[in-house]
Amino acid sequence: MRTPIIAGNWKLFKKSSEAQDFVAELIPLVQKTTDVEIVIAPVFTVLSAVKRAIADCNIMLSAQDCFWEEEGAFTGEISPGMLVDAGCSHVIIGHSERRQYFGETDETVNRKIKAAITAGLTVLFCIGETLAEREADKTFEVLRTQIENGLAGLARGDLAKIVIAYEPVWAIGTGKTATDEQAQIAHAFIRKVVGELFTVQIAETIRILYGGSVKPENVRGLMNQPDIDGALVGGASLKADSFGAIVNYKA
């Protein structure tokens, strides 16, 4: 049985006071939810403050990125060990916005994943195709390449610390959402590739999240699909009521 994960990626939003107000609103909405893992990913500067705010509840803390070296002359970077020190249990790696705007490649994603696992973090490993790639019928080719390159060199045991997030780039922040069927087809393919690269048992246990304009109105249909194990939520994670409703999609 794969425990669902609902993760909120705040992107470049919420200073410290806003983040703490959000958490204070969210906790009463989700504190009785025991059958879903809840993760929030604030900006680096408020991680420690948010960690204190969620210290006694069922919400886990993620960062939005990390570097692949633990320390050194790398101005502006943050290492996985520093994220652990700030209270993180998770880190998002390979988000499409990192790939699009900041030169992230499959190689840097792979290096970051290895470093994060070494530090003990659970990785939310993002993959997904652009609109042009989908229209050229290259979705499966793109996903397979991203999975093969991103997980290259990992041992089977490392996969226990990997959660895959499928985010069709054409559905991020556009208001467009993959249909439940489109999402399920992609997720089933991702699970198949993981089985080919590692083992069928690992493929059956790895959790695969959907990310792409997830809202309270569409989360239940997505979560009813057999290979969708949760959601990586963007805009709808910025308001406590909408994120709480997504977390409590079973209610």
Q: Which domains are delineated in the chain?
A: 5-248 (3.20.20.70)
9 known member of a binding site: yes
Q: One-letter amino acid identity for 214? A: V
Contact 99, 105 (CB under 8 A): yes
Spatial separation of the C-alpha atoms in residues 163 and 151, rounded to whole Å: 11
- CA 165 to CA 185: how far, in whole Å? 14
Looking at residue 180, its pLDDT comes to 96
| Nearest-angstrom CA–CA distance, 235 and 145 | 28
Q: Give residue 1's pLDDT.
A: 85
- What's the pLDDT score for residue 178? 84
CA torsion angle 55 56 62 63 (round to 10): -20
Q: Is 195 annotated as a binding residue?
A: no
Q: What's the pLDDT tens digit per position in 165-220? A: 999 998 877 777 789 999 999 999 999 999 999 999 999 999 999 998 999 999 99
Tens digit of pLDDT per residue, the chain (251 long)?
Answer: 899 999 999 999 999 999 999 999 999 999 999 999 999 999 999 999 999 999 999 999 999 999 999 999 999 999 999 999 999 999 999 999 999 999 999 999 999 999 999 999 999 999 999 989 998 999 999 999 999 999 999 999 999 999 999 999 988 777 777 899 999 999 999 999 999 999 999 999 999 999 989 999 999 999 999 999 999 999 999 999 999 999 999 98
User: Is the Cα dihedral 178, 179, 180, 184 positive or negative?
Assistant: negative
As a whole number, the mean pLDDT across the chain is: 97
Model pLDDT, residue 172: 77
**Predicted local confidence at residue 170, as pLDDT:** 85
Q: Is 230 annotated as a binding residue?
A: no
Reduced to 3 DSSP states, what percent helix, strand and coil does the chain have, rounded to the nearest 5? 45, 15, 40
**Which residues are the active-site residues?**
95, 167
The set of residues, in sequence order, having a beta carbon less than 8 Å from that of 110 and lying 6+ positions away, is 149, 150, 151, 152, 153
DSSP summary character for residue 91: E
Alpha helices in the chain (DSSP H): 16-30, 47-53, 80-85, 96-101, 106-118, 131-135, 139-150, 180-197, 200-205, 219-223, 240-247
Q: Is 10 annotated as a binding residue?
A: yes
Quickly count: other Cβ atoms within 10 Å of residue 184's Cβ: 18
- Quote the Cα angle for 54-76-108, to 5°: 90
Radius of gyration of the chain (CA): 17
Would the annotation count 114 as a binding residue? no
Whole-number Cα distances in Å, 152 to 65, 114, 214: 19, 9, 29
